[in-house]
Each structure stands twice: as structure tokens, then as C-alpha cells.
Amino acid sequence: MKVKIQDIEKIVKKHGGEKGAVIPILQDIQGSYGYVPREAVKVIARELSIFPVVVYGILTFYTQFYLTPRGKHTIKVCQGTACYVMGGKEILDHLSKALEITEGETTADGMFSLERVACLGCCGMAPVIMIDKDFHGKCTIQKLKTLIEEYRAKK
């Protein structure tokens, strides 16, 4: 997706008068691009009259924001206490092996990004993963295989 300065300006202006707008702006930009493009930092800084380093500082503080494009599907693997004792680490290891990427990376075909997350708050169905906005509980290696195939087949 090509980054258009005007689009970014539009997002920034939408939050114009709002107090504490930087985070919602970054969230919206990431919502449209899947990551926060480098160019956006400058635009936000200019429009809000703050230094780019302030924007960059916020951007890198929160785990939700990315500076590089993400895969088509983001897989978040829960590493909360309940998931950990129910085998969440094995789930993460398996996905990492199956997709040939480590956490934080994206597969070469741009299909999947793999991430760890502190807790998804679904401890009752541990171990849990979240693909895009959907939760998948009681994960097993077999279930992961099916899920990956399912998402790969999705257009």
C-alpha cells in the first residue's frame, strides 16, 4: 500500500483539537497501513507542533505499534501464566518452527507475522492464540496445522 502524505494529514486533522491525540492518531494510521510508516512520524510532528523524536518515543514505547509492514495475518501467541503452564511455550515454539520465523518477524511471503502477547485474558481456554481479531483456544499442534492452512487459503 502506497503511503500518501495527504491521507496521513487527514487522519491527524481528524483528531485535531483532541487532548492527548498522538496515540489515537498512531492507532488510526496503523489501522490503515498495518504499521506506522516513517513518513507519518514527520507529518504528525509537524501538524501537532512537537518534535519528531517525541512521536518516535511514543511509537517505540508501546508494543502495539510497528515500524515495518506486517504480514497479512498476525498471529499472537499468549504467554500468560495459565497458557504457559498449559503448554503455551510449546505452541510458540511450534509456530516459530512451522513458519520459519521468530517472534516479531514476518514470513517471506508476507502471509504471517508472529508475536507473543502477555495475556489475552482467555485463561479458561488455555493455551490460546489470536489470529487477527479471532481467538482460538485449547490449541494443539494439530489444531495449529489446520488453522495455518485455513488462513493460508483465505484470500
Among 9, 35, 111, 137, binds other proteins (CB under 8 A): 137
Q: Site size for other proteins, by CB under 8 A?
A: 39
Q: Which is nearer to other proteins, 21 or 111 (CB)?
A: 21
Whether cis (ω within 30° of 0) applies to the bond prior to 127 is yes
Among 71, 79, 99, 113, binds other proteins (CB under 8 A): 79
Q: Which is nearer to other proteins, 22 or 148 (CB)?
A: 22
- Under rule CB under 8 A, residue 123 binds other proteins: yes
- Under rule CB under 8 A, residue 71 binds other proteins: no
The distance of closest approach from Cβ of residue 125 to other proteins in the complex, given in angstroms and rounded to an integer, is 5
Cα distances (angstroms) measured from residue 112 to each of 66, 85, 95, 120: 14, 26, 10, 19
- Rounded-to-integer distance, Cα 34 and Cα 117, Å: 18
Cα distances (angstroms) measured from residue 4 to each of 9, 29, 128: 9, 11, 37
Instruction: List residues binding other proteins (CB under 8 A).
Output: 19-24, 26-27, 57-58, 61-65, 79-86, 117-126, 130, 133-137
